[in-house]
Structure 1
């Protein structure tokens, strides 16, 4: 049998933690880029809200934030 960590200290655990941190950052960055490309002056605020919603709840919560952004924009 193969060991689960394959010789890397904290291998799978670090990967999970890294994904938990990287997904909200990527969602916030994508939200910022989209809002900034449309000329929204609150692009940074929308990015932070989307990232925090993804970090606190789930990535699906950031989709809800994105839908709210689409709904309220000009």
Structure 2
């Protein structure tokens, strides 16, 4: 006797979309950290590596924490 799956098994399109979203959530903090580091280095900021670590570290732990660190950097750089 076979029992049909009512909800289905995730795969195909659903799994691909989840993979893309996961990769974006991982890539964005590193891209922002790279941009912050190059911008701070170009402006002669001695704490360029610290800013980049703050943005990427907080971005990996909590996505919005990384965005907050990025906004604070943008506010502080001028």
5+ residue gaps, structure 2, are: 1-10
What is the TM-score when the length of structure 2 is the normalising length? 0.64
What is the TM-score when the length of structure 1 is the normalising length? 0.67
Is it true that 1:28 corresponds to 2:33 in the alignment? yes
1:1-74 paired onto structure 2 within 5 Å? 5-6=12-13, 10-59=15-64, 61-69=65-73, 70-71=75-76
RMSD across aligned positions (CA): 2.3
CA separation of 1:21/1:42 partners in 2, compared to 1, >3 Å: closer, same or farther? Answer: same
